[in-house]
Chain A
Amino acid sequence: MAKLASALVSRLVIIVPYAWLLFFFLIPFFIVFRISLSQTAVAMPPYTPVFDLAGGLAGILEKAREFSVDNYVWLTDDALYFNAYVSSLVIAAISTLLTLLIGFPIAYGMAKAPRSIRPTLLMLVILPFWTSFLIRVYAWIAILKPEGLLNQFLTTIGIIDQPLIILNTNSAIYIGIVYSYLPFMVLPIYSALEKMDNSLIEAAQDLGCTPTSAFWRVTFPLSLPGVVAGCLLVFIPAVGEFVIPDLLGGSETLMIGKTLWSEFNANRDWPVSSAVAIILLMILVIPIVYFQNVQAKADSEGK
C-alpha cells in the first residue's frame, strides 16, 4: 500500500515539469500560433476568426478553414522584419561576446578567491537583482546621457571637452545588455570553474605547462560547458530584448523586440506580431536544442 503510494508520488513528481511546460509554454504557444494564422479585424479581439463553442466541433472546423499563412508571407515580403531579425541576432551576438569577455575573468577570479569569501562574492554578483530591472536601465540613462554622470566625470577630470554621445546609440544597448545579463554569464562559468580540481592545474604544470598554457589546455576546455550555458542564457533573451533598445537605443536601432512591440501596440496588428513572435521562437529553439544536447553530453561524461 505504502509502496503503491510512493510509486504514485514519484509519478506525480515526474508529471510536474510536463504540466508546467504544457500550461505555460505549449498552450500559450498554440494560442499565439493560432493568432498568427488569423487576419486583422477592427473588432475585439482584433482578429478573425474567433472561436466559440456555440458552433460545436463542426463550427470550429468551419472557422479553421479561414486560417492562412498570409502573415508569414508578409514578413518575408517586407525587408524591415528580415533586417530586424538580423540586427537583433548581431546585437545579441556582440553583446554575448562582450559579456563573455567581461564575465569569464570575473568568474575565474571568484573561483580562485579564498573559499571563505566566495559566498560574499557570489552575493555581490546577484545583488543587482534586488532592484527592479527597469530602474537599473533607467539609471543607465542618467549615467550615459550627454549631461549625465559619465560625461560630467570625464569632463571634470579633463579627458574630454565635448560630451560623448553614447545614449541612443548601439553602444548604449551593448552597455545595457552586458550590464543586465552579466550575472547569467558569470554564474554558470563560476560553477564550472569552482568544481574543477586544482590538482589538474598542478598536473598540467608538472607536465611542463606554464600557468598560461595550463589555462588554455586544461582550465578553459573544462569550463566550456559553463561558457556555453552562459552564452545561451545571455544570447537567447538578448535577441528578443525590448526594454534596453527602447530606453537606451536610438530610433535607427532595429531590434525584433521593438518591432514586435510596435506591431502589437501601435498597429494593433495581433496576427502579424504573433507571426513575428513565432519566427523569433523558431530562431531561438535551435540554440536551445543545441544547448540541451551539450548539457546532456556533459552530464553523461560527468564523474
Chain B
Amino acid sequence: MMKSLGSIRRSFAPWADPASKPFISVKNVTKKFGDFTAVDDLSLNIYTREFFALLGASGCGKSTLLRMLAGFEQPTSGEIILDGQNLAGIPPYRRPVNMMFQSYALFPHMTVENNIAFGLKQDGMPKPEIAERVAQMLKLVKLEKFAQRRPHQLSGGQRQRVALARSIAKRPKVLLLDEPLGALDKKLREETQFELMDLQQELGLTFVIVTHDQEEAMTMADRIAVMSHGKVVQVATPAEIYEAPNSRFVADFIGDVNLFDGTVIGVEGGSLRIETTSGIQLRMASPEKPASGAKAAVAIRPEKIRISRQPPDHAPVNTAEGEIWDIGYLGDMTVFHVRLKDGKVVKASSLNAVRAVEDPLGYDQQIWISFGEDAGVVLKD
C-alpha cells in the first residue's frame, strides 16, 4: 500500500495530472519598484476551483503578486495568463477577477446593500436581478438585517463579510483575497476560515489568498506557495509542505522543527546514514542519495520525537541522551525542551491523551530522545 503524506487524502489534485491545464499561469514574472525587486522571476500555476495560498513573511511580495493578478500593478517582465488570455495591458476593470482588500475598502458613503450592488450596477445589470443577487449575497454572509447600515456602523467581522459579499457578487472566475482575516480576532478568524472554505466549495470559485499566517494557509488551502524575498520557495499541499519541506527555509518557516546538521557517511538500503556535527548517528529514509561526505541537514518535527527513560532498542542510531530542560504545558499537548549533551536544545511534544499520568517526567530528568527512520526529512541545503 502506498503511503500518503499527512492524514488527509484529497481527491482534488489537478496539479498532479499532466493533462489538466492551469487556469492561471504566472510565467517568470518580475516586479521592480525602482531598484527594489519585490517579485523576482516568479512562476506559478493555479488550477480551476483551487484554493491557493500565497504564504510568506511580511514584505516578501505576496500582495504585489496579487495586485499584478488584479491589474493594479504591471509586471516589469514576464507574463500572466488567465483562462488562456494574456493579461498584459488589460486594466483591472476588464479582468474577470475580483479582489477582497486587506483594508476591506468599503465605500463609506454607501449602505451595505449599495456596497454589494456596486459592481452589478456598474455592469448595468437590470434592477430586479441586482436586488435578487444582493439579497442572495446578504443571506450568504448572514447580514440580512444590516442591509441599510453604513460600514462605520458595523463591527470588524461584519465589515469583513460585506467586503467578501461585494467581491463575490459579480461571480468572478477568480477571487483574490489579501489577508482577508488579518483584522479579526483569533476565534472569529478560525470560524471564518471554515466559512470561506465552505463558500469556495459552494460557489465553485478559484480562490487565491494571501496570508502570513501559516496555520491559516494550512487550514484552508489546497496548495500553498511559500514565498521568500519575491521568490517561490516551494509549492505543495499543506501536508507536503509540513512533512516534506524542500529546504531549510520552508522547514523552519512552517511549524516547529529540530534541525540536525551533519555529513552523509553512507547509504544503507533505502536510507541515508548521517553523522551530525555533535556525533549523533542518524539513519533517515531519503529518496535522494547524496554521495558520502556531502553536507546534509535532517529536519524532525517535535511530535515525531519520543522521550524515554531507557535507551531505545535501535540505539545508538536515531537516539541521543539529554535532560529535560523546560516543560511547556499547552493543555492538548506538552512541549519538552530537551538539552542534549552538546548543549543543543531539541523540542519534543507529546499529546496529553489521558488526564493524569503516573510518574510524569520532571525537570532535570535524564532521558533519551529517539525517532523513527521516516520521522525526518533530509535537506540538502
CA distance A199 to B66 in the complex (A): 14
Q: How far is the CB of A215 from chain B (nearest CB, A)?
A: 13
Tell me if A218 counts as interface (CB < 8 A to partner B): yes
CB–CB A206/B99 < 8 A: yes
Q: Indicate whether B246 reaches chain A with its CB closer than 8 angstroms.
A: no
Q: Mark A165-203 against chain B: 1 for CB-CB distance below 8 A, else 0.
A: 000000000000000000000000000000001011011
Do A209 and B101 touch (CB < 8 A)? no
A206→B103 contact, CB < 8 A = no
From known contacts A199-B105, A203-B105, A222-B109, infer whether A208 and B119 are also in contact, taking CB-CB under 8 Å: yes
Kindly supply a per-residue 1/0 record for chain B positions 88-105, scoring 1 wherever the CB is within 8 Å of any chain A CB and 0 otherwise: 000111000111010101
Residues of A within 8 A of B337 (CB): none
**Interface check B161, CB cutoff 8 A:** no
B166 within 8 A of A: yes
Given contacts A207-B118, A207-B166, A207-B170, A199 and B91 within 8 Å (CB-CB) = no
Given A205-B92, A207-B118, A222-B109, the answer on whether A302 and B170 have CB atoms closer than 8 Å is no
Q: Is the CB of B152 within 8 A of A207?
A: no
Q: Given known contacts A197-B105, A208-B123, is B93 in contact with A301 (CB within 8 Å)?
A: no
Enumerate chain A residues within 8 angstroms of B72, measured Cβ to Cβ.
202, 205
Interface residues of A in 191-246 (CB under 8 A from B): 197, 199-200, 202-210, 213, 217-218, 221-222
A3 contact set on B, CB distance < 8 A: none
Are A222's CB and B105's CB within 8 A?
no
Docked Cα-Cα span, A197 to B109, in Å, equals 13
Are A206 and B93 in contact, with the CB atoms below 8 A? yes
- Asked if residues B122 and A213 are in contact (CB atoms below 8 Å), the reply is yes
**B107 interface hit (Cβ, 8 Å):** yes
Q: Judge whether B70 is part of the interface by a CB distance below 8 angstroms.
A: yes
Return chain B residues, CB-CB under 8 Å to A200: 105, 107
Q: Check A208 against B107 for contact (C-beta < 8 Å).
A: no
Among the listed B108, B122, B150, which residue makes an inter-chain contact with A207, where contact means beta carbons less than 8 Å apart?
Answer: B122
Q: Which residues of B contact A197 (CB under 8 A)?
A: 103, 105
Interface size on A, residues (CB 8 A): 20
Cβ of A65 under 8 Å from chain B: no
Q: How far is the CB of B3 from chain A (nearest CB, A)?
A: 44
Please determine whether A205 and B93 come into contact, CB atoms closer than 8 angstroms.
yes
| Residues of chain B within 8 A of A209, CB atoms compared | 93, 122
Among candidates B98, B103, B109, B122, residue contacting A199 with C-beta atoms closer than 8 Å: B103
With contacts A207-B170, A213-B122 taken as known, whether A199 is within 8 angstroms of B101 at the C-beta atoms is yes
Residues of B within 8 A of A213 (CB): 122
Judge whether A303 is part of the interface by a CB distance below 8 angstroms.
yes
Residues of A within 8 A of B106 (CB): 203
Which residues in A have their C-beta under 8 angstroms from that of B93? Answer: 205-210
- Of A202, A207, A210, A221, the residue contacting B119 (CB under 8 A) is A207
**In the docked arrangement, what's the CA distance between A281 and B92, Å?**
51
Residue of B nearest to A207 (CB): B119
What is the 8 Å Cβ interface bit string for chain A, positions 283-303, against chain B (1 contact, 0 not)? 000000000000000000111
Closest 7 CB pairs of A and B: A207-B119, A203-B105, A208-B122, A199-B105, A205-B92, A206-B99, A221-B109
Q: A200-B107, A213-B122, A301-B152 are known contacts; what are 16 more A-B pairs with Cβ within 8 Å?
A: A197-B105, A199-B101, A202-B72, A202-B92, A203-B101, A203-B166, A206-B93, A206-B98, A207-B118, A207-B122, A208-B123, A210-B93, A222-B109, A301-B108, A302-B152, A303-B108
Which A positions have Cβ atoms within 8 angstroms of B?
Answer: 197, 199-200, 202-210, 213, 217-218, 221-222, 301-303
